[in-house]
Structure 1
Amino acid sequence: LIFVLIATMAVCFCINWGGSHTDPKALLIGWLLPTVPSWGMTQAVSAIGAVIMPHNLYLHSALVLSRKVKRSSSHRVHEAIRYAQIESAVALASAFVINLAVVAVNSNKFYSRECAAQ
């Protein structure tokens, strides 16, 4: 059920992203070479605080602890680590795409000197 809700949210934000007229070249340049103009520091710090969520670290540590692994078997430990890496990578990649869509949808609205001055 939770996966369906998250997938629905991701699809909705990606559809909105498609209609937001975001400049893909500027998005790619900003993603590869991030810079923050002096007037945009408040928005950047706010976005980082909203996007980088400390509870992700807590959830991933709970993911590792929830596996009952026979620690005397190195094969089982390596297998558990491999699956934990896969699950973490999928969760973080999904969160990255959703957060990118959220920021891109709203970028045309708040990325300006006028908005920063308010």
Structure 2
Amino acid sequence: MVLLYLNCWYFAAFYLAEILMFIYKGISLPYPSENLVLDVVLLLVFLGLEMLRIFYGWKGNLCERSLASCASLVILFPCGALAVYYLLLQTFVLRLEFILAAVLLCFYSLELVLGLLSFSAFSRSRVY
């Protein structure tokens, strides 16, 4: 549960930092407008997926439901792919973006391991 709170706060800081870095890159770097629009749209998709993933993880953990936890783990994979995109594949990657995305991927890997453990515990428990 603590990891979920920490990840929620970290993603909020990551999202705010990405917005500020896109403003910086749009003003000071020769960023092609099509690529800038693509990166911003992917950031909005990333925000939506992350909010959905955190919601399902939160509900699955509080209610000890394996279906919600499984949904959170399934949504974790597209979120991880988008984190890898912001780590390596966007047009201009700043050093701060690289560090923030790498830390986010570390959180995702830890969350995957703990999510699988909790999913197996929730699946084995009997509800009367």
Greater RCO (Cα-Cα under 8 Å, separation 6 or more): 1
TM-score by length of 1: 0.35
TM-score with structure 2 length normalisation? 0.33
Of Structure 1 and Structure 2, the greater helix share is in: 2
